[in-house]
Chain A
Amino acid sequence: MTAPAVRLRRVGHRYGSVTALRDVDLELPAGGTVGIIGPDGVGKSTLLGLIAGARRIQRGRVEVLGGDLADDRHRRAVCPRIAYMPQGLGRNLYAELSVHENLAFFGRLFGLARAEREARIADLLAATGLDPYPDRRAGHLSGGMRQKLGLCCALIHDPDLLILDEPTTGVDPLSRRQFWELIDRMRAGRPGMTVLASTAYMDEAERFADLVAVHDGAVLATGTPAELRARTGTDSLEAAFIALLPEDQRGDAVPLVIPPRPEAHATPVIVARGLTRRFGDFTAVDHVEFEIERGEIFGFLGSNGCGKTTTMKMLTGLLPATEGEAFVLGRPVGNGGAGAGGLETRRRVGYMSQSFSLYGELTVAQNLDLHARLFGLDDRHREQRTAAEIEHFGLRDVLDKLPDELPLGVRQRLSLAVAVIHEPEILILDEPTSGVDPLARDRFWRLLAALSRERGVTIFVSTHFMNEAARCDRVALMHDGRVLACDTPEAIRRSAGADSLEDAFIARLLEASPEPAPAAPGPPAATGAADAVRSIDSGTSAWRRLYAYSLREALEVMRDPVRLAFSLLGTAFLMLVFGYGISYDIERLNYAVLDGDRSAESRTVLEGFRGSRYFVEQPPLADHADIDRRLMRGDLALAIEIPPGFGRDLQRGRIPEIGVWIDGSMPFRAETIRGYVQGLEVTYLDDLARRASGARLPVDVAEIQARFRYNQDFRSINAMAPSNLALLLVFIPAILTAVGVVREKEMGSITNLYVTPVTRLEFLLGKQLPYVAIAMVNFLVMVAIATLVFGVPVRGSFPTLVAGALIYVLATTGIGLLMSTFTRTQVAALFGTAILTAVPTVQFSGLLQPVSSLQGGAQVIGTLFPATYFMKISVGTFTKALGFVDLLPQFAALALFFPILLVAAVLLLRGQDR
């Protein structure tokens, strides 16, 4: 006997206060197939994640392929020998990348050189029947195809241990069967490979050599399928599993039997005729026809993405049909859905969607109450109905809980209670039981049966579970947008001459499938690649992995129109906005005069204002009240009053008074106006003095020559354009980079960092480089805008500016990387980075006030922020005509940021999930 592939000793795992695994001991043989069975949320995924090295071990010892996974060296050494396909269809794939691009990405991560990679990809595509679609985006694949692609990606490096977490959930039965056949073929070509898979379908579990039954974080039993059945004295694994459960959790002992319908034929209440829905050139629902009679339980059976949901949405009026028509309760749906007729029909229909659609922020009681109110139930009726449903669905104990705190099964019941609160005649349920354990499913079906048989509600329910479909009065088999068969489950089975509904479905699928299933190609060449893959630590491999991430990132950004537009046009647009928006040029000031004198002397006073480019004269003022009124309305920035007798008083030396009122609501503007007015006063007095050639005035004793350096005509744009450049080159690249990394966390593809040979440094640098390139493009666009639109040329050395920009964007994208190690959602990354970059840049980096004017904490922040230094390089090269040597200290300081930020990001980024 060979050494076990996996050995677990007292392994425990917790998420916060929730215990996922408790003291698991397990030994799995090498070269075999092991199935982990159990309902959702019992710890299967945690167990697989730990074995794959994707999760950090909290307690106990996990030995995989002859070493302890807690030892980082061993983990890195064996990770090229392990392949891990996480739960959720294609969760580690990239939806925006094509089939081939996804495969090439994984090939690069495992260090495969080009020729070898291509050969391997061709092999795998042929073996899985994906070869006709190398250029299709992963996001556009059907569930079955996506799952095959996931498998190809997992197998690209020829692993010794293949870990599959619920690989077939939600996939049609034919694809499921093909998938397991494919695994068998792969194993035939590579006998040493150990396959470890989890599944929620008990019928699939029969395929495995060994089984591990898991419940509530602990192992219930291990053994071959035959052993488990024999031990519990049952004839199916489903029954065996329930028998293995502790007594109080086995649920109703009485098997569910739905009584037959009282009348075999009733009036149809839902009718679909030639119902078709297209999204672009993709036909989701293709001429579907069926009739559902009053009181019937009608099942819709099919895989994820086969058109079940779309059909149901058309029947509820959520989606208009592209073609064909549908009638609900005798009225046409679709057009006029918002009209009174449509609204009236809606009162008679209840709907429960896949996601349960409860308000997570409202308590159970509030959810029920809200729905009752929105259906317009009057007060008495509402209270009565709510109380009845609480009783009927067993919700009394959870009334004040939030739905998210409840187990899935209870949430599902609540969802049903909400859907029937208004006593609908028809109930449309879209996959109401997915993800719920068998016992809760059983209880749910008892409720449905009661609704149908006792209250006469017509139920239209979709599912991908065969045993649920078998309970319906009639079923429609759906695949690729078409109904393949529609009859009672028994009739469908008989007409296909099959033993079970599943076999009948597969027979129908094979009939309907336009493309033949892959004609059992030989096992892919399994040797050759394996040895090459082992040498992952060579230098070229590191660059290849880095390049894999860079390429992937670049492709993804290019294919997301909003991100692409934001990254390329965002800065240009904001550069224009900021250029026009932040201006300290105070010009075109409206003023008006109350000239009570109208003499030559008063005109002399006003000449100064009339000749100034800063002021625009408005119609004269009538009186003092007019001054107040027009200033208050904001029509005037300043008002001037020359009193009657001004000229006479001036000549007689009586020192007449000139009154000036300035609108102080915008202090900076008012301050500047005061400066202008005093300047004009000096000129005027000087003029007076010269004419009188009398006494010397203090202002005239010395002359102040003001020289505006760097910006002779003192246009604020000359300073603002280069400053805005610095602001936008921190703001936008940091946000884009942060969102880019966090996106992987949110989508789940971060797992690839955890379980492939890529290091954190390669991952981060690879992610960063495309954004550095984007930022440099942005930089050039902004320089062009500054030069061409705002007329602010680069007076100093352009190469110096470019070099400074490059070092700067390395630092600013580095800020994004660092932010992304903290944040968990894209929204948090976005707003967090926006605030943390914009505030210090605007307030502390010299954009508005020079850093030399800052004090204390503000100056410290300014010193520690890269924008401070690039601001000087940018302003220096643009307007001060400085060269590299003049800016050497700024360059030296700026160059420090990138390595420090990168090291910090590498240290803070987790290499494994918790």
Chain B
Amino acid sequence: MQRLRAIFHLGVKELRSLRRDPVMIGLIVWAFSLAIYTAANGVPQDLRNASVAVVDQDRSQLSTRIRQALLPPQFKPPVLIDFDEIDAGMDSGRYTFVLVFPPRFEADVLAGNRPSLLLEIDATASMQAGIGRAYITRIVAQEIAGYLNIDGGAPPVDLTVRIDFNPNLESAWFTSVMTLIQNVTMLSIVLTGAAFIREREHGTIEHLLVMPLTPMQIMLAKVWASGLVILIAVAVSLWVVIERLLAVEVAGSVPLFLAGTALYLLFSTSLGIFLATLARSMPQFGLLFILVALPMNMLSGGNTPIESQPETLQTLMQAVPSAHYVAFAQAILYRGAGFEAVWPQFAATLGIAGLFFAFAAARFRRSIAAMG
């Protein structure tokens, strides 16, 4: 009982220390509010403001009509250029798409000669090239149909595409929650690791060790205190920033997500402790942090789909709880999955986190024994 009480009081000490650390508090507030807000409104995942040039060798009503149909927000107003300007314009990255209308385009369409339109795409614009092509193709088809007055209901099959869970494909829904997840990883590592290193640099850790306390108690105190802070930050951020300010519709159960987050925090705070035992100083901790946290965030499926990775890497990532965290967060928050659907990820997170916690605790005990 006294052991639990000591863990509690040590954890309260961590919270009091945090209260006096304006930089860390600032970092937490920023990471769970402004950072999420700007990320959601920052880099869009959909087609936005793509730059298009048009080489119009036809100058017909139809070519003009198509050109005028390339509208914001997907496209910037198209620029009319000459044929010999294409190369320079694309080499310099000024235009991502160049649509070339051949001479007599309209006439050929009317005559049923099936003319060819050339669409030059800068394929180095990875995010825009594929989607932009689909958009332009669709717009051209629609405009020609409209021009020829062909009835839209003509095709023999009606293909209805429904987008589930995020019908308007708003990228803010995706980026906001994924940024939240990534910041959970970053902040929980920094918070726990820095707390331990600071304690070591100030020599207060020695003081704890000459008291009737075990390293396990010291570590558990840091884990619960940092975990609690982040968990509260996540709850508030989800409720205020994501649901209210960004108006993201959360499909599933928030308590279930928070429960899963708590499991994940057991892992990430242990990781923070572990990295802190590897580093000799705060700057070394920072460099290690970059080398660990960045890849975890990049490869866990929160940026680009995990199935695009080579298979071996995908298998490897199954051993990293952040991949499971991203998976169940997407399932619960976007797709409304319940516990019966996400329990495998919960189990994996808990299992790996438990193992890693034991490993980090052993390492923590050894590193404390080696301090001198």
Q: Which residues of A contact B (CB under 8 A)?
A: 277, 279, 284, 310, 313, 316-320, 338, 343-344, 346-347, 349, 351, 353-362, 366, 370-371, 373-376, 402, 562-563, 566, 570, 573-574, 577-578, 580-590, 605, 629, 631-634, 650, 653, 655-672, 674-675, 677-679, 681, 684-685, 688, 692, 695-712, 714, 716, 718-720, 735, 739, 743, 825-827, 830-831, 834, 842-843, 846, 848-855, 872, 875-876, 879-880, 882, 886, 889
Q: Which residue of B lies closest to A890 (CB)?
A: B92
One of B140-148, B222-230, B239-247, B260-268 contacting the partner: B140-148
Q: Which residue of A lies closest to B19 (CB)?
A: A361
Q: Which residue of B lies closest to A574 (CB)?
A: B294
Q: Which residue of B lies closest to A831 (CB)?
A: B286
**Known contacts A632-B335, A712-B123, A876-B91, A849 near B43 by CB under 8 Å:** yes
Q: Which residue of B lies closest to A348 (CB)?
A: B212
**Known contacts A634-B330, A831-B286, A853 near B173 by CB under 8 Å:** no
On chain B, the residues within 8 Å of A277 by CB distance are: 372
* Contacting pair B212 A667 (CB below 8 A): no
* Contacting pair B174 A279 (CB below 8 A): no
* Contacting pair B310 A580 (CB below 8 A): yes
Q: Which residue of B lies closest to A349 (CB)?
A: B210
Q: How far is the CB of A689 from chain B (nearest CB, A)?
A: 8
On chain A, the residues within 8 Å of B96 by CB distance are: 850, 852-853
Task: A670 to B134: give the CA distance in the assembly, Å.
Answer: 12
For B250-292 the 0/1 string (1 means CB < 8 A from A) is 0000000000000000000000000000011111101110110
On chain A, the residues within 8 Å of B21 by CB distance are: 361
* Contacting pair B121 A709 (CB below 8 A): yes
* Contacting pair B287 A562 (CB below 8 A): yes
**Known contacts A852-B96, A876-B91, A660 near B159 by CB under 8 Å:** yes
On chain B, the residues within 8 Å of A735 by CB distance are: 287, 290
For B109-152 the 0/1 string (1 means CB < 8 A from A) is 10010111111111111111111011011101110110010100
* Contacting pair B160 A660 (CB below 8 A): yes
Task: A277 to B371: give the CA distance in the assembly, Å.
Answer: 12
* Contacting pair A668 B45 (CB below 8 A): yes
B158 adjacent to chain A (CB < 8 Å): yes
**Known contacts A318-B372, A655-B153, A663 near B164 by CB under 8 Å:** yes
Task: A409 to B164: give the CA distance in the assembly, Å.
Answer: 68
Q: How far is the CB of B275 from chain A (nearest CB, A)?
A: 11
Task: A361 to B20: give the CA distance in the assembly, Å.
Answer: 6
* Contacting pair A704 B137 (CB below 8 A): yes
Q: How far is the CB of B150 from chain A (nearest CB, A)?
A: 5
**Which 4 pairs from chain A and chain B are nearest by CB?**
A675-B134, A581-B298, A711-B123, A698-B145
Q: How far is the CB of B274 from chain A (nearest CB, A)?
A: 15
Point out which of B93, B94, B144 has the most chain A C-beta atoms below 10 A from its C-beta.
B93
Q: Which residue of A lies closest to B300 (CB)?
A: A581
Task: A468 to B313: give the CA distance in the assembly, Å.
Answer: 64
Q: Which residue of A lies closest to B89 (CB)?
A: A852
On chain B, the residues within 8 Å of A605 by CB distance are: 157
**Contact among B44, B202, B371 for A355, CB-based, below 8 A:** B202
B341 adjacent to chain A (CB < 8 Å): yes
* Contacting pair B91 A886 (CB below 8 A): yes
Q: Which residue of A lies closest to B307 (CB)?
A: A588
* Contacting pair B127 A586 (CB below 8 A): no
On chain A, the residues within 8 Å of B210 by CB distance are: 316-318, 346, 349, 351
Task: A657 to B156: give the CA distance in the assembly, Å.
Answer: 9
Q: What 13 new A-B contacts, CB under 8 Å, besides A570-B287, A667-B46, A706-B121?
A: A313-B206, A361-B19, A573-B291, A580-B313, A581-B295, A584-B126, A589-B307, A634-B335, A661-B162, A665-B165, A696-B112, A704-B140, A852-B94
On chain B, the residues within 8 Å of A739 by CB distance are: 283
Task: A580 to B294: give the CA distance in the assembly, Å.
Answer: 13
Task: A619 to B157: give the CA distance in the assembly, Å.
Answer: 25
* Contacting pair B138 A678 (CB below 8 A): yes
**How many positions in chain B have a CB within 8 Å of any CB in the partner chain?**
132
For B299-338 the 0/1 string (1 means CB < 8 A from A) is 1000111011110010000000000000100110011110
For B14-58 the 0/1 string (1 means CB < 8 A from A) is 001111110000000000000000000011111111110000000
Task: A366 to B15: give the CA distance in the assembly, Å.
Answer: 12
Task: A669 to B302: give the CA distance in the assembly, Å.
Answer: 12
Q: Which residue of A lies closest to B90 (CB)?
A: A709
On chain B, the residues within 8 Å of A880 by CB distance are: 91, 124
* Contacting pair B155 A852 (CB below 8 A): no
Q: How far is the CB of B369 from chain A (nearest CB, A)?
A: 6
18 chain-A/chain-B pairs, Cβ below 8 angstroms: A338-B215, A351-B207, A353-B206, A357-B206, A373-B9, A376-B5, A376-B6, A583-B304, A583-B305, A632-B331, A634-B330, A666-B330, A672-B130, A674-B161, A698-B142, A698-B150, A827-B282, A850-B96
* Contacting pair B134 A674 (CB below 8 A): yes
On chain B, the residues within 8 Å of A588 by CB distance are: 307-308
**Contact among B127, B137, B163, B304 for A664, CB-based, below 8 A:** B163
On chain B, the residues within 8 Å of A663 by CB distance are: 164-165, 335
* Contacting pair A373 B6 (CB below 8 A): yes
Task: A889 to B91: give the CA distance in the assembly, Å.
Answer: 12
* Contacting pair A719 B124 (CB below 8 A): yes
**Contact among B49, B123, B212, B336 for A376, CB-based, below 8 A:** B212
On chain B, the residues within 8 Å of A705 by CB distance are: 116-119
Task: A848 to B125: give the CA distance in the assembly, Å.
Answer: 7
**Known contacts A318-B209, A657-B158, A696-B112, A827 near B129 by CB under 8 Å:** no
Task: A360 to B17: give the CA distance in the assembly, Å.
Answer: 8
B61 adjacent to chain A (CB < 8 Å): no
Task: A739 to B286: give the CA distance in the assembly, Å.
Answer: 11
Task: A830 to B279: give the CA distance in the assembly, Å.
Answer: 15
Point out which of B48, B90, B209, B210 has the most chain A C-beta atoms below 10 A from its C-beta.
B210
Q: Which residue of A lies closest to B172 (CB)?
A: A667
* Contacting pair B158 A656 (CB below 8 A): yes
**Contact among B90, B112, B125, B335 for A665, CB-based, below 8 A:** B335
On chain B, the residues within 8 Å of A699 by CB distance are: 141
Task: A578 to B19: give the CA distance in the assembly, Å.
Answer: 36
B347 adjacent to chain A (CB < 8 Å): no
Interfacial residues of chain B within 81-95, with CB under 8 A of chain A in the complex: 90-95
On chain B, the residues within 8 Å of A697 by CB distance are: 154-155
B64 adjacent to chain A (CB < 8 Å): no
* Contacting pair B308 A586 (CB below 8 A): yes
Task: A843 to B158: give the CA distance in the assembly, Å.
Answer: 40
Point out which of A320, A346, A374 has the most chain B C-beta atoms below 10 A from its C-beta.
A374
On chain B, the residues within 8 Å of A563 by CB distance are: 284, 287
B104 adjacent to chain A (CB < 8 Å): no
**Contact among B117, B202, B215 for A357, CB-based, below 8 A:** B202
* Contacting pair A698 B141 (CB below 8 A): yes
**Known contacts A663-B164, A850-B51, A583 near B118 by CB under 8 Å:** no
**Contact among B126, B131, B310, B369 for A719, CB-based, below 8 A:** B126
* Contacting pair A718 B286 (CB below 8 A): no
**Contact among B119, B284, B288, B303 for A707, CB-based, below 8 A:** B119
On chain B, the residues within 8 Å of A702 by CB distance are: 105, 108-109, 114-117, 140, 144
On chain B, the residues within 8 Å of A580 by CB distance are: 299, 309-310, 313
Q: Which residue of B lies closest to A881 (CB)?
A: B91
**Contact among B150, B162, B283 for A827, CB-based, below 8 A:** B283
Q: How far is the CB of B273 from chain A (nearest CB, A)?
A: 17
Q: How far is the CB of B143 from chain A (nearest CB, A)?
A: 9
Task: A112 to B148: give the CA distance in the assembly, Å.
Answer: 88
B65 adjacent to chain A (CB < 8 Å): no
Q: How far is the CB of A892 from chain B (nearest CB, A)?
A: 13
* Contacting pair B372 A669 (CB below 8 A): no
**Known contacts A402-B20, A660-B160, A698 near B154 by CB under 8 Å:** yes
* Contacting pair A718 B123 (CB below 8 A): yes
Task: A699 to B5: give the CA distance in the assembly, Å.
Answer: 73
On chain B, the residues within 8 Å of A584 by CB distance are: 126-127, 130, 304, 308
* Contacting pair B16 A362 (CB below 8 A): yes
On chain B, the residues within 8 Å of A582 by CB distance are: 298, 303-304
**Known contacts A402-B20, A562-B279, A659 near B160 by CB under 8 Å:** yes
